[in-house]
Amino acid sequence: MEIEQEVLDLIENAKRVCILTGAGVSAESGIATFRDAQEGKGLWSQYDPQQLASIDGFLNDPQTVWQWYQWRRDVNKDKEPNPAHLAIARWQQRSHQDGNQLVSLITQNVDGLHQKAGSSPVTELHGNIWHNHCLQCNQIHQASVEGLEAVPECTYCGGQVRPSVVWFGEALPEQAWREAESAAYSCDLFLSVGTSSQVYPAAGLAALAKSQGAKVLEINPDPTNSSVVDYQIAGKAGEVFKRFNI
């Protein structure tokens, strides 16, 4: 209980908070990781998810990759924000109203559930599965793609439209990464929530925060062995946030 009181004091007294969320938060809404999502799912279990989620995979077989993402969208379209999403959104909203605390939210998830819960702004490091853009000219594809089995054509250049997610072999969006680095660099409390801290460069944000004097709090059902973590709370994020009245 002593550690939990220390954590509560940190949360209440921090002036600048940076929250990084990972797949564990989405899992509480029933969203599987892109690797787990296809296990035992007939056709898709035949494919290597790292091929389906790569630029090379799309260039070699755009139709198959597009259909996989359409399947993933269909599976997840009815998923709703869970208590962790809602708690973070309330925290952000309070910080906007009170002005005593700045809460920056960075996510590795692509499902858009933080925004659906009411969080704003949200820095999406790996993109958003509900958005699309042209592979050739990079223009945003505004038209609905629901139910489309064939790869759409870009209305600007006729190129191939792709999901606006970061694939293996691609760099993170420049603007999003600048926002994430800035938030981590300037915070005095960094929360790593539902992430294994193994996917770089996002996993390096906690170390960046720590190097500037921030305290690092990890909330995860399976605590990591990260040496930069000051406090570890084992459990689902939604349950932990409720315990801390966030």
The amino acid present at 189, given as its one-letter code, is L
Cβ-contact 136, 157 below 8 angstroms: yes
Tens of pLDDT, residues 120-143: 999 999 999 999 999 999 999 999
Q: Which residue has the tokens 């349950």?
A: 239
Strand, helix or coil for residue 176: helix
Considering the chain, what is the average pLDDT of its residues?
92
User: Which of these, 155, 118, 124, lies nearest to 137 by C-alpha position?
Assistant: 155
Q: Is the pTM of this model over 0.85?
A: yes
Q: How confident is the model at residue 70 (pLDDT cuts 50, 70, 90)?
A: very high
pLDDT score at 131: 98
Q: What is the mean pLDDT of residues 11-15?
A: 95
Region 167-185: what's the mean pLDDT? 96
Query: What is d(CA 57, CA 137) in angstroms, rounded to the nearest whole number?
Result: 19
Report phi then psi at 102, rounded to 5.
-105, 125
Active site residues: 126
Per-residue pLDDT reduced to its tens digit, 213-229: 999 999 999 888 788 99
CA distance 184 to 125: 13
**In the prediction, which pLDDT does 203 show?**
85
